[in-house]
Amino acid sequence: METVFLILATIAYCVGAIGYVIYLVRDQDAIHRVSSGILLAGATLQGLALIMRSISMGRLAVTNSQEALSFFAWVLVVVYLVVQTRFHLRILGSFVSPLAVLFMLGSPLVPARMIPTSGIFQSVWVVVHVSALFLANALFALAFSAGIMYLLQERTIKRKNFGFLYLRLPSLESLDKLNYVCLVFGFPLMTLGLITGFAYAGSVWKSPWNWDPKEIFALITWFIYAILLHERLAVGWRGRRAAWLAIFGFSAVLVTFLGVNLVLQGHHTVFVR
């Protein structure tokens, strides 16, 4: 049944993304409501599948690359739907939903690399570690999308091309505010995820730091967002600089999340045949 739910969820995400692309072209409330409802239905179906799989396996079902990528797509959709109710930036779905579809469709294609699932891997540290990092990464994905939208809108304004994109994209101020809020909430979650990860590593491998490739890249990514947060709070970075750094930061997230798992070997990347 969980496989059926996942297939239906994938179809729902694809249809919802198509709806949001149409909404980008045609500003009609009905299109947004239907697209949003379809995404919500897909997230509900995938949530049920994740619960069923986690119960059947006796662990949180995110220990291999395929599960993790699928789980990230789900978290991204859920976070977007929640953020949308607060900021009412409907057009953001036109950029976020295709990203979720890309992760969802890509999940079966990546090699199945995973951490061995012994009893100790059912620790509460893992649940907090994984949940915090995935929530943080989803918020950074929203900031990434807002950054792209900001640069597109800024370009249209500078060129005085007050046409299609200018009319459809939110104001620069709204996009910069969303970028800032995602950073303010995402950075503490990322920090919590890393701290619990180090604590967990200490209990499993007897050392909180093991020079694991994913640990190294995760720390680099943390420093990128720490610099962005510091520059926004202390120096007053806004607008274009913040947008570019949000895009660069999420690129580092993808390298840590996907690139390290697929290319490098370590505690986080045991290949399963």
> What pLDDT, in 10s, does the model give residues 188-222?
999 999 998 888 777 766 666 666 778 888 899 99
Say how far apart CA 41 and CA 36 lie, in whole Å.
9
Q: Per the confidence metrics, is the pTM higher than 0.95?
A: no
State the DSSP string of 159-196.
TT--SHHHHHSPPHHHHHHHHHHHHHHHHHHHHHHHHH
Tell me how far CA of residue 169 lies from CA of 43, 69, 89, in angstroms.
25, 29, 9
- In sequence order, which residues have a C-beta less than 8 Å from that of residue 159 and are 6 or more positions away? none
Q: What percent of the chain has pLDDT over 70?
A: 86
What integer best gives the mean pLDDT of the chain? 85
> What pLDDT, in 10s, does the model give residues 80-139?
999 998 888 889 999 999 999 999 998 887 776 555 454 444 567 778 888 999 999 999
Neighbours of 271 (CB within 10 A): 11
The band of 262, judged by pLDDT with boundaries at 50, 70 and 90, is low
